[in-house]
Amino acid sequence: MTADAGGQPGAGAGRRDGEGGRRGGEGGRRGGGRRDADQRPAGRRGTGRPAGDSGTREAIGEAARAQFADFGYHGATIRGIAAVAGVDPALVHHYYGTKEALFAAAMRLPIVPSEVLTAALSGGAPGEPGFGAHLVRTALTLWESDELKETFLGLLRSAVTSEQAAVMLREFISDSILGTLARVAGLERQGSHAEAEYRAAMVATQMLGLALTRLVLGLPVVAGASVDELAATVGPSVDRYLCGDLDLPDGVSGAPPG
């Protein structure tokens, strides 16, 4: 992080210098990686602020996804992501602002959590037999898929070592997962909005705990169990959190709206 943070102001300075200064004194100061990026087709963009170049944004997003998957949150750098995408580092800042914002955007790929949850919940409803087990099975299968596993692992590992990554994870879960779970599962029809949030959050404690013990810590009995075995074991707890009797904290219980 330290090296990357130091590189970011330089990228901004390069943008302010304009085309004339880009190939002068900065070239020797940046080293080979920066010169290579400037010599690619992206160099014709000059100030690093192209108008309507959606292809560039997509290229940066794809590069970020690969870099975070390969190196984790700390190891992936703005300069490295830019080099893979073939653009100036200033473009990464232009499109995404900060490394943290880029990380959050990259973690929504290659799947959209709300779409996956909606599809997973469409086959049943809380309270129906096997609903919780189905939800656990869907999550585990997704987390362990080839397209998502390394990226998901990078997120979990970063969240336990970086406060900023933990904030990103918390916001990601709240906005993209818990809100969708409460809405699609109809939790607000059972009680207040606060109760719906609480129940969804309790489901998150089960699912994140399962992810950490199986994928990050590798707790032998958890890592060695099959997906179906874990679904059968954890599923009933998920069912209870979704629609069972809970001793709700003060200020959480309440009647459904309307």
Please give the residue that has the higher pLDDT: either 54 or 149. 149
Q: Given a cut of 50, is residue 222 above it in pLDDT?
A: yes
Calculate mean pLDDT across residues 115-128. 80
pLDDT at residue 120 in the model: 80
Q: Quick one: average pLDDT of 210-238?
A: 96
Whether residue 36 is predicted with pLDDT greater than 70 in this model: the reply is: no
Residue 19 has pLDDT above 70, yes or no: no
Q: The pTM is what?
A: 0.61
Q: Which pLDDT score is estimated for 52?
A: 47
Question: Mean pLDDT, to the nearest integer, of 97-104?
Answer: 78
Smallest CA-to-CA distance from 206 within 118, 156, 136 is with 136
Over residues 33-52, mean pLDDT: 39
Q: Mean per-residue pLDDT for 102-128? A: 76
In which band, very low, low, confident or very high, does the pLDDT at 257 lie, cut at 50, 70 and 90?
low
Higher pLDDT, 162 or 139: 139
Alpha helices in 31-53 (DSSP H): 32-39
Identify the pLDDT of residue 221: 97
- pLDDT single digits (tens) 63-80: 988 887 677 767 889 999
Give the Å distances, CA to CA, from 84 to 15, 79, 143, 183: 19, 9, 25, 39
């970011």: which residue's tokens? Answer: 8
How high is the mean pLDDT of the chain?
A: 77
The CA distance from 168 to 161, in Å, is 12
pLDDT of residue 226: 98
Output the pLDDT for position 3: 40
Give residue 81's Cα distance to chain centre: 16
- Domains recognised in the chain with CATH numbers: 2-106 (1.10.10.60), 113-243 (1.10.357.10)
Using the 8-state DSSP alphabet, how is residue 112 labeled?
Answer: -
Q: 3-12, 63-72, 171-180, 194-203 — which one is most confidently predicted on average?
A: 194-203
Q: What is the pLDDT of residue 159?
A: 86
Q: Calculate mean pLDDT across residues 140-169.
A: 83
pLDDT of residue 168: 63
Helix or strand run (H / E) with residue 25: helix 25-30
- Alpha-carbon gap, residue 199 to 187, rounded angstroms: 8
The answer to whether residues 241 and 203 touch, using CB atoms and an 8 Å cutoff, is: yes
What span, in angstroms and rounded, lies between the C-alpha atoms of 235 and 229? 10
Average pLDDT over residues 229-239: 97
**Predicted pLDDT at 256:** 57
Helix (DSSP H) and strand (DSSP E) numbers for the chain: 15, 0
| pLDDT tens, position by position, 106-117 | 776 567 677 778
What pLDDT score was predicted for residue 88? 94
